[in-house]
């Protein structure tokens, strides 16, 4: 797309202020005026006001949604550059109708896998409370749990779930697995035993969720599944918040029908200041940082620069996919 003046580019939700450091944006010098926004706007009217003059908007995963109503109020928008392969919060049909190109980037999953195990170890061994005890001048305050010999239930045995299972085996755990299309052969290939959904929730000491969010999987874990879990069991979700019925989970945590939950994802992000998941003492909550690693961000922003450069030159970009794409 040849231009006679620099295009206006907005980089959204750069919480840590690292976008311009982790890729070579100088290739766009003279071609683009870049503005970085480190804050997150939940107010949609304020978001539209902020973005209505920009030609290109760079979005970080699904932090800021672009619905049809938002897109219709951004008359200058021509390129929506998302990070990652899919972005369920972008209305691709509406973007296409308005002639807005939507592109995506490469991705690496190791950050999410590593964080999942960081959360599991932290909640089972009560690490945050023990750290707080040391900082307060105290010493040991709890007896931690064990992983060896315990059972982990992996909901979703795709690329990430399979690697989670492999690490569980290294800890000496028993691995159960379930998903809607999982076969016995695939489960056994990854050292897991295929079981029914009810059996997994009933028998696992830890249930960890690794499914893609779609119409079929939204709310796939609700009160019926949580009620099957042991009072000593933990739920871990580093995939997508809406996979789990949030109200049902909060009730289970408040009533202590499960031991606790380790969460990195939520229905609405960021969490409101008064959200119960911020204050429940049996919740270990992180602010959706599974993919927030230096290696991942370098891929995201490098590919974003390449997409913008290609688009300006009239060359193909990496096409973003929908939730079910």
pLDDT number for residue 292: 97
**Which residue did the predictor score with more confidence, 227 or 316?**
227
- Ramachandran category for residue 137: left, alpha or beta (phi over 0 → left; psi -120 to 50 → alpha): left
Over the stretch 13-43, which tens digit does the pLDDT of each residue have? Answer: 999 999 999 999 999 999 999 999 999 999 9
Residue 323 predicted with pLDDT over 70? no
* Lookup: tokens for 309: 């450069």
110-285 under CATH 3.40.718.10, yes or no: no
What share of the chain has pLDDT > 70, as a percent?
A: 97
pLDDT number for residue 59: 97
**pLDDT band, residue 71 (cuts 50/70/90):** very high
Options 61, 190, 240, 318, the catalytic residue: 240
pLDDT number for residue 305: 97
pLDDT number for residue 318: 77
Whole-number Å distance between alpha carbons of 84 and 89: 12
Options 114, 130, 218, 269, the catalytic residue: 269
Residue 92 predicted with pLDDT over 50? yes
The single-letter DSSP state of residue 66 is B
Predicted model pTM: 0.92
Options 61, 190, 288, 323, the catalytic residue: 288
Whole-number Å distance between alpha carbons of 164 and 116: 8
Q: Is 215 a catalytic residue?
A: no
Listing DSSP states for 244-259 in one string gives B-HHHHHHHHHTTSSS
Over the stretch 256-277, which tens digit does the pLDDT of each residue have? Answer: 999 999 999 999 999 999 999 9
pLDDT number for residue 324: 47
**pLDDT band, residue 320 (cuts 50/70/90):** low
Q: Is 210 a catalytic residue?
A: no
pLDDT number for residue 1: 54
pLDDT number for residue 5: 87
**pLDDT band, residue 104 (cuts 50/70/90):** very high
pLDDT number for residue 117: 98
pLDDT number for residue 325: 41
Whole-number Å distance between alpha carbons of 144 and 130: 10
| Mean pLDDT score across all residues of the chain | 95
84-88, 270-274, 321-325: least confident range: 321-325
* Lookup: tokens for 215: 């119409």
pLDDT number for residue 321: 62
Backbone angles phi, psi at 193, to 5 degrees: -110, 120
Whole-number Å distance between alpha carbons of 323 and 313: 28
Fold of 7-107+293-312: Rossmann fold (3.40.50)
The H or E element containing residue 284 is: strand 283-285
Do 100 and 78 touch, CB atoms closer than 8 A? yes
Whole-number Å distance between alpha carbons of 7 and 34: 8
CA distances in angstroms from 298 to 112, 129, 292, 304, listed in the order given = 16, 33, 10, 10
What share of the chain has pLDDT > 90, as a percent?
A: 93
Over the stretch 153-178, which tens digit does the pLDDT of each residue have? Answer: 999 999 999 999 999 999 999 999 99
Q: Long-range contacts of range 128-132, CB-CB < 8 Å, 24 or more positions apart?
A: 128/284
Residue 114 predicted with pLDDT over 50? yes
Over the stretch 281-290, which tens digit does the pLDDT of each residue have? Answer: 999 999 999 9
Average pLDDT over residues 69-98: 95
Average pLDDT over residues 34-63: 96
**pLDDT band, residue 3 (cuts 50/70/90):** low
Residue 217 predicted with pLDDT over 90? yes
Write the secondary structure of 146-215 as one string of H (helix), E (strand) and C (coil): CCCCCEEEEECCCHHHHHHHHHHHHCCCEEEEECCCCCHHHHHHCCCEECCHHHHHHHCCEEEECCCCCC
Domain boundaries defined on the chain: 7-107+293-312, 110-285
pLDDT number for residue 85: 85
Q: Is 240 a catalytic residue?
A: yes
pLDDT number for residue 2: 52
Beta bridge partners of 103: 81, 319
What SS3 state is found at 90?
Answer: strand
- Ramachandran category for residue 156: left, alpha or beta (phi over 0 → left; psi -120 to 50 → alpha): left
pLDDT number for residue 316: 83
Beta bridge partners of 114: none
Whole-number Å distance between alpha carbons of 139 and 128: 13
Q: Do domains 7-107+293-312 and 110-285 have the same CATH topology?
A: yes
């Amino acid at each position: 797309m040849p231009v006679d003046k620099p295009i206006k580019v907005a980089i959204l939700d750069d919480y840590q202020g690292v976008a311009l450091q982790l890729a070579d944006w100088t290739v766009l010098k003279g071609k683009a005026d870049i503005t970085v926004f480190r804050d997150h706007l939940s107010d949609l009217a304020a978001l539209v006001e902020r973005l209505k003059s920009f030609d290109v908007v760079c979005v970080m995963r699904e932090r800021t949604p672009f619905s049809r109503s938002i897109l219709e109020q951004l008359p200058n928008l021509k390129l929506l550059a998302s990070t990652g392969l899919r972005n369920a919060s972008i209305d691709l049909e509406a973007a296409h109708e308005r002639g807005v190109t939507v592109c995506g980037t490469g991705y690496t999953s190791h950050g999410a896998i590593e964080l999942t195990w960081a959360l599991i170890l932290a909640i089972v061994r009560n690490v945050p409370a023990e750290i707080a005890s040391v900082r307060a001048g105290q010493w040991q305050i709890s007896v931690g749990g064990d992983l060896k010999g315990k059972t982990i239930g992996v909901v979703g045995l795709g690329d990430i779930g399979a690697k989670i299972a492999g690490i569980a085996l290294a800890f000496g755990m028993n691995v159960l697995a379930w998903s809607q299309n999982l076969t016995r052969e695939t489960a056994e290939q990854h050292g897991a035993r295929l079981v029914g959904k009810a059996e997994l929730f009933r028998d696992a000491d830890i249930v960890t969720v690794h499914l893609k969010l779609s119409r079929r999987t939204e709310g796939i874990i609700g009160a019926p599944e949580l009620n099957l879990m042991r009072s000593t069991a933990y739920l871990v979700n580093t995939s997508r918040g809406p996979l789990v019925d949030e109200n049902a989970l909060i009730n289970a945590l408040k009533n202590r029908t499960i031991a606790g939950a380790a969460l990195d994802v939520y229905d609405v992000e960021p969490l409101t200041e008064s959200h119960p998941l911020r204050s429940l003492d049996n919740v270990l909550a992180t602010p959706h940082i599974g993919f927030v690693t230096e290696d991942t961000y370098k891929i995201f922003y490098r590919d974003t620069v390449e997409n913008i450069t290609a688009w300006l030159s009239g060359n193909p970009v990496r096409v973003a996919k929908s939730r079910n794409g």
